[in-house]
């Protein structure tokens, strides 16, 4: 009953106790990341860890942690540790623990012991009830540590005793088709490790804080922190995986030096000039051809770049214009509410619907015969981008303080001039943020391009979209024409899909089609990130004009 | 003392009942209506009524504001003094629920009529708001914003190409406005810095300079010092007194000491949107006609 007598603000004699508790929390975090690493196979389940087979090592750590945390609870209950526990851990934790244990009881009863569905249900209910009682009824220090400790010890023993070994697998018999689902040790074990280390870590963090309000705060902090770190690790792992798989084909045959690169003829409206690149990067600079040593994705990069540029040029003025009308001119009411709902709905419309619209409405309109074209792709993606630009531009403009508008009006400045010189500049960073988000989505969009832009899975460098070179002036309407815009071309996500789908590239001189696909994926990632970088730099520019240091 | 203590309570009681009965247009204290100031009237307001939806915010207000002087509008919160101020340059037009009738004449010219050029009106009747609201632009751009938008100054690329470059005019204008607002010495070396980096008091003086840059004849100020500390407040007060030598200043304030310090004449609005008394500031603060005004000024109510 240490907690009852302890009333001082500064808790005394806590150093040893806190050191051990902190060590346990740290161990739980280490175990959590080991589990995470095992999930993405950085740590091999079949290999070894610190001299022991991985599963044995993990099991040992779990048991040690379980015993430590359970010991904390009991010693605290006996009053040997200076803690300050509440009366009970609470109904939420009790419900979660009983649900967890009931599930385990069901699985063990029904599957491991072979008692069938009825046995499983009885076992589950029984163990769930015990877990609930253990959690809810004793004092907080026992209630939060014992069920968690038992979980860790249970999983630890399962691994230590070899119940779940490296070759273990389980196909639930109760599924209609018994072969349809199979769990392997390599996916179950890391998950069990992560789950139990989270639970034990939570209990240990509570113990570290001496239970009570401070303990609850630390327990929640640990869970939130581990979750955040896990999410970031997953993201990093994803990008790292793509880079790892794709860097080989992308970096193949890169040369740097004067005159090694291809010559580019820059020509616009009849003027032309030859530029020889000082770098030769085959994957980025070549198209598909049997005559080049390495097949590249140059036409697809060009296609994606033009698509994004076209969509942005179409969507940003329209979207910002609509947002100006909605925020500055239209009366707030039914009409603006409907427009708001409609733009939100449009933003969540599946991309294939936009694609079908483009195929039915745009594709037949630009050429004598219906033909998929770069222009149709640009406009379709522009339509997809439009609602997000409207939404974010509107929010950015609403966020501009009315004081600016009042100040401007009081100087006798008209509404439109106020919008142009005060409201829009102040809203610009928000608008750019919206465009960045939207570009991230449309640059990777595949479905609409299938239906509107087409192209081939391997495109020669000569067939890239030469938009800038192809403007032609004439004296009769429409005065400026550009045949490239009405041609089908290719884009990175579309090409990636085609390459993976067809799975063969001999005709284009590609031997390892999977590597080529990963390379394309890496380039796509880089192109999207490059657009992000441009967007963020633009936003920073507008922000710096508004703020002071 | 005890006599004067009981006396006003009775009086204010009867007055109160008069106003609550009184959706009538009966005037409460007619004597000050003959308030005769020296000099010309810059603004003449007659029977001004403002409704916000069903709320009758301003009732039959009539007063004349003399030129080149400071007129203070005082009264408790919600008495309509800010509404009155915003009627003088038609800023209330921007409030959708507001309906305004009555007459306001600027130099004898009715501003509430069809064909009033709001741009021209607001150039002549400038306004400074309660909270400093500089634009998120450089100090220079804040000052030259008005003249630029009115086409008086153009330093754009096109202007330069066509041989009209007002860079010198702009510099002169910025310096003039900042000097008038007593801010030049503090910011002359950082005109290109963002105005939001200035202190609150500096920002408010910048807003006054921004208003002066369009060369107004009347400056309306809506509690210009209420968001500022005492030192910044005293700077603004000095500035207002200086400005009155050249401009007609109308200032709304909650601070009665401030009104007494800076104004030449004071109008007292009391709850219900009525102008109760309007006279020389000295008279209002020392010997008001209305018992209610005396109660308000001595802090007995309001």
> pLDDT tens across A375-419, in order?
899 999 999 999 999 999 999 999 999 999 999 999 989 889 999
Whether B280 is in a domain gets the answer yes
Residue B30: band (very low, low, confident or very high) from pLDDT cuts 50, 70, 90 = low
Residue A129: band (very low, low, confident or very high) from pLDDT cuts 50, 70, 90 = very high
Rounded (10°) angle between helices A15-39 and A212-251: 30
Choose among B123, B129, B194: nearest Cβ to A407: B129
Tens-digit pLDDT profile for residues B109-153: 899 988 888 888 999 999 999 889 999 999 999 999 999 888 888
Closest-CA residue of chain B to A406:
B91
Shortest Cα–Cα distance, A331 to chain B (Å):
10
Prediction pTM value:
0.77
Whether B145 is in a domain gets the answer yes
Cβ-based contacts of B135 with chain A (< 8 Å) = 404, 407-408, 422
Choose among B280, B300, B285, B279: nearest CA to B29. B279
On whether ipTM exceeds 0.95, the answer is: no
Gap between the Cα atoms of A438 and A434, Å rounded: 6
The answer to whether the beta carbons of residues A143 and A93 sit under 8 Å apart is yes
The answer to whether the beta carbons of residues B278 and B63 sit under 8 Å apart is yes
- A406–B129 CB contact, under 8 Å: yes
Element of type H or E holding A272? strand A271-276
- Collect all residues with Cβ–Cβ distance below 8 Å to A236 and sequence separation of at least 6: none
Shortest Cα–Cα distance, A428 to chain B (Å):
12
- B129–A408 CB contact, under 8 Å: no
Residue-level pLDDT at A296:
81
Residue-level pLDDT at A1:
41
Tens-digit pLDDT profile for residues A149-183: 999 999 999 988 888 877 787 776 655 565 567 78
What number does CATH give the domain A298-546?
A: 1.10.3720.10
Res. B256: pLDDT tops 70? yes
Shortest Cα–Cα distance, B249 to chain A (Å):
15
Res. B101: pLDDT tops 60? yes
Q: Look up the domain containing B240 and give its range.
A: 28-112+119-297
Shortest Cα–Cα distance, B123 to chain A (Å):
5
Radius of gyration of chain B (CA): 21
Q: Considering its fold, how many domains does chain B have in total?
A: 1
Residue A321: band (very low, low, confident or very high) from pLDDT cuts 50, 70, 90 = very high
Cβ-based contacts of B91 with chain A (< 8 Å) = 406, 409-410
- A412–B120 CB contact, under 8 Å: yes
Tens-digit pLDDT profile for residues A229-250: 888 988 888 898 899 988 888 8
Residue-level pLDDT at B25:
42
Residue-level pLDDT at B13:
39
The answer to whether the beta carbons of residues A38 and A54 sit under 8 Å apart is yes
Selected residue with higher pLDDT from A224 and A8: A224
- A410–B89 CB contact, under 8 Å: yes
Which residues on adjacent β-strands are paired with residue A279?
Answer: A256
In the predicted model, what is the mean pLDDT of chain B?
Answer: 83
Gap between the Cα atoms of B280 and B3, Å rounded: 27
Q: Which of A462-466, B250-254, B280-284 has the lowest mean pLDDT?
A: A462-466
Q: Which of A284-298, A374-388, A425-439, B216-230 has the lowest mean pLDDT?
A: A284-298
Q: Is the dihedral of CA B181, B186, B190, B196 positive or negative?
A: negative
Cβ-based contacts of A407 with chain B (< 8 Å) = 129, 133-135, 207, 210
Choose among B91, B193, B197: nearest Cβ to A409: B91
Which residues on adjacent β-strands are paired with residue B101?
Answer: B49
Q: Which of A175-179, A394-398, B165-169, B199-203 has the lowest mean pLDDT?
A: A175-179
Residue-level pLDDT at A173:
64
Where do we find the tokens 């050429």?
Answer: A367
- B194–A407 CB contact, under 8 Å: no
* Torsion (CA) B268, B271, B276, B277 in degrees, nearest 10: -10
Concatenating the DSSP letter of every residue in A445-467 gives: --HHHHHHT---SS--GGGS--T
Residue B3: band (very low, low, confident or very high) from pLDDT cuts 50, 70, 90 = very low
In the predicted model, what is the mean pLDDT of chain A?
Answer: 84
The answer to whether the beta carbons of residues B221 and B147 sit under 8 Å apart is no
Residue A473: band (very low, low, confident or very high) from pLDDT cuts 50, 70, 90 = confident
Res. A258: pLDDT tops 50? yes
- B122–A409 CB contact, under 8 Å: yes
Q: Which tokens belong to A82?
A: 């200076």
Selected residue with higher pLDDT from A486 and B208: B208
Chain B residues with a Cβ under 8 Å from any Cβ in chain A: 89, 91, 94, 96, 118-123, 126-127, 129, 131, 133-137, 145-146, 149-150, 193-197, 207, 210-211, 214
CATH number of the domain within which B278 lies = 3.40.50.300
Gap between the Cα atoms of A507 and A434, Å rounded: 42
Selected residue with higher pLDDT from A310 and B2: A310
Choose among B129, B146, B193: nearest Cβ to A548: B193
DSSP SS3 for B211: helix
Q: Which of A208-212, A253-257, B14-18, B186-190 has the lowest mean pLDDT?
A: B14-18
- A414–B197 CB contact, under 8 Å: no
Cβ-based contacts of A331 with chain B (< 8 Å) = 96
The answer to whether the beta carbons of residues B111 and B104 sit under 8 Å apart is yes
Tens-digit pLDDT profile for residues A503-526: 766 666 677 788 888 999 999 999
Whether B129 is in a domain gets the answer yes
The answer to whether the beta carbons of residues A529 and A338 sit under 8 Å apart is no
Q: Going along A418-500, which residue ranges are E strands?
A: 472-473, 480-481
Closest-CA residue of chain B to A543:
B136
- A407–B133 CB contact, under 8 Å: yes
Average pLDDT of the residues in B193-220:
92
Selected residue with higher pLDDT from B202 and A331: B202
Concatenating the DSSP letter of every residue in A186-208 gives: HHHHHHHHHHHHHHHHHHHHHHH
Average pLDDT of the residues in A476-499:
80
- What is the DSSP-derived secondary structure letter of residue A453? T
Q: Which tokens belong to B186?
A: 């503090």
Count of positions (residues) in chain B = 302
Q: What percent of chain B has pLDDT over 90?
A: 36
- B89–A411 CB contact, under 8 Å: no
Count of positions (residues) in chain A = 549
Whether B44 is in a domain gets the answer yes
Choose among A266, A252, A338: nearest CA to A512. A252
Tens-digit pLDDT profile for residues A29-55: 899 888 888 887 777 877 777 788 888
The answer to whether the beta carbons of residues A53 and A239 sit under 8 Å apart is no
Which residues on adjacent β-strands are paired with residue B219?
Answer: B126, B249
Res. B21: pLDDT tops 60? no
Gap between the Cα atoms of B138 and A113, Å rounded: 77
Residue-level pLDDT at B2:
39
Tens-digit pLDDT profile for residues A335-356: 889 998 999 999 999 999 999 9
Gap between the Cα atoms of B125 and A409, Å rounded: 11
Average pLDDT of the residues in A410-437:
91
Residue B8: band (very low, low, confident or very high) from pLDDT cuts 50, 70, 90 = very low
Closest-CA residue of chain B to A419:
B149
DSSP SS3 for B213: coil
Closest-CA residue of chain B to A403:
B133
Closest-CA residue of chain A to B151:
A413
């Amino acid at each position: 009953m240490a907690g009852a007598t302890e009333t001082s603000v500064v808790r005394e004699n806590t150093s040893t106790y806190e050191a051990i508790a902190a060590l346990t929390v740290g161990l739980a975090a280490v175990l959590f990341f080991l589990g995470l690493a095992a999930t993405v196979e950085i740590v091999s389940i079949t290999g070894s860890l610190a001299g022991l087979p991985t599963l044995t090592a993990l099991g040992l750590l779990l048991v040690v942690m379980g015993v430590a945390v359970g010991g904390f609870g009991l010693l605290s209950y006996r009053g040997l540790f200076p803690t300050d526990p509440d009366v009970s851990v609470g109904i939420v934790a009790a419900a979660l623990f009983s649900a967890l244990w009931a599930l385990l009881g069901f699985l063990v009863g029904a599957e491991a012991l072979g008692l069938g569905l009825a046995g499983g249900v009885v076992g589950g209910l029984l163990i769930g009830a015990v877990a609930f009682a253990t959690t809810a009824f004793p004092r907080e220090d026992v209630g939060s540590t014992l069920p968690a400790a038992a979980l860790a010890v249970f999983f630890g023993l399962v691994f230590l005793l070899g119940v779940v070994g490296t070759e273990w697998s389980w196909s639930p018999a109760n599924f209609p088709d018994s072969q349809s689902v199979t769990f392997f040790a390599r996916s179950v074990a890391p998950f069990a490790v992560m789950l139990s280390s989270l639970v034990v870590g939570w209990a240990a963090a509570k113990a570290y804080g001496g239970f009570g309000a401070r303990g609850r705060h630390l327990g929640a902090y640990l869970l939130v922190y581990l979750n955040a770190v896990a999410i970031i690790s997953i993201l990093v792992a994803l990008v790292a995986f793509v880079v790892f798989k794709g860097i080989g084909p992308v970096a193949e045959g890169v040369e740097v030096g004067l005159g090694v690169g291809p010559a580019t003829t820059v020509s616009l409206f009849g003027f032309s000039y030859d530029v020889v690149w000082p770098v030769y990067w085959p994957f980025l600079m070549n198209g598909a051809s049997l005559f080049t040593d390495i097949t590249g994705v140059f036409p697809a990069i060009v296609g994606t770049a033009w698509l994004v540029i076209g969509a942005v040029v179409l969507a940003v003025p329209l979207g910002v214009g609509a947002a100006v009308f909605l925020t500055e001119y239209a009366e707030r009411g039914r009409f603006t509410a409907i427009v708001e709902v409609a733009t939100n709905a449009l933003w969540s419309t599946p991309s294939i619907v936009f694609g079908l619209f483009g195929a039915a409405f745009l594709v037949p309109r630009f050429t004598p015969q219906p033909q998929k074209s770069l222009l149709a792709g640009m406009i379709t993606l522009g339509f997809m981008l439009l609602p997000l630009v409207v939404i974010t531009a509107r929010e950015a403009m609403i966020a501009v303080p009315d004081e600016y508008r009042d100040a401007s009006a009081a100087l006798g400045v008209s509404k439109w001039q106020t919008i142009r010189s005060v409201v829009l500049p102040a809203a610009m960073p928000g608008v750019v943020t919206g465009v960045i988000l939207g570009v991230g989505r449309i640059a990777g969009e595949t479905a609409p391009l299938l239906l509107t832009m087409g192209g081939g899975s391997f495109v020669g460098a000569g067939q890239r979209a030469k938009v800038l070179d192809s403007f032609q002036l004439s004296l009769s309407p429409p005065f400026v024409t550009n045949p490239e815009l009405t041609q089908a071309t290719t884009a990175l996500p579309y090409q990636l899909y085609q390459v993976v789908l067809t799975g063969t590239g001999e005709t284009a001189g590609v031997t390892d089609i999977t590597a080529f696909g990963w390379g394309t994926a890496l380039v796509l990632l880089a192109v999207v990130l490059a657009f992000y970088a441009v967007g963020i730099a633009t936003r920073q520019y507008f922000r710096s004009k508004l703020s002071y240091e | 003392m005890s006599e004067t203590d009981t006396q006003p309570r009775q009086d204010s009681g009867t007055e109160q009942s008069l106003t609550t009965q009184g959706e009538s247009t009966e005037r409460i204290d007619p004597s000050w209506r003959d308030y005769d100031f020296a000099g010309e009237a810059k603004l003449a307001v007659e029977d001004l009524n403002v409704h916000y939806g069903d709320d009758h915010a301003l009732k039959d207000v009539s007063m004349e504001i003399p030129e080149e002087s400071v007129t203070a509008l005082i009264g408790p919160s919600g008495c309509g003094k800010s509404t009155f101020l915003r009627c003088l340059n038609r800023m209330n037009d921007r409030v959708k629920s507001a309906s305004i009738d009555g007459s306001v004449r600027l130099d004898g010219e009715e501003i509430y009529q069809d064909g009033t050029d709001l741009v021209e009106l607001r150039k002549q009747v400038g306004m400074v708001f309660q909270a400093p609201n500089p634009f998120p632009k450089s100090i220079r751009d804040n000052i030259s914003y008005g003249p630029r938008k009115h086409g008086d100054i153009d330093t754009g690329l096109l202007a330069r190409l066509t041989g009209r470059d007002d860079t010198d005019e702009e510099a002169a204008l910025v310096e003039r406005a900042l000097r008038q607002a007593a801010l030049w010495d503090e910011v002359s070396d950082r005109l290109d810095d963002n105005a939001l980096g200035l202190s609150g008091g500096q920002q408010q003086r910048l807003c006054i300079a921004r208003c002066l840059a369009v060369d107004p004849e009347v400056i309306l100020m809506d509690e210009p010092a209420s968001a500022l500390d005492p030192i910044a407040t005293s700077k603004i007060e000095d500035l207002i007194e200086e400005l009155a030598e050249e401009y007609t200043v109308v200032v709304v304030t909650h601070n009665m000491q401030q009104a007494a310090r800076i104004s030449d004449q004071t109008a007292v609005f009391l709850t219900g949107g009525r102008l109760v008394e309007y006279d020389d500031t000295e008279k209002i603060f020392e010997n008001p006609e209305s018992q209610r005004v005396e109660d308000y000024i001595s802090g007995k109510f309001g």
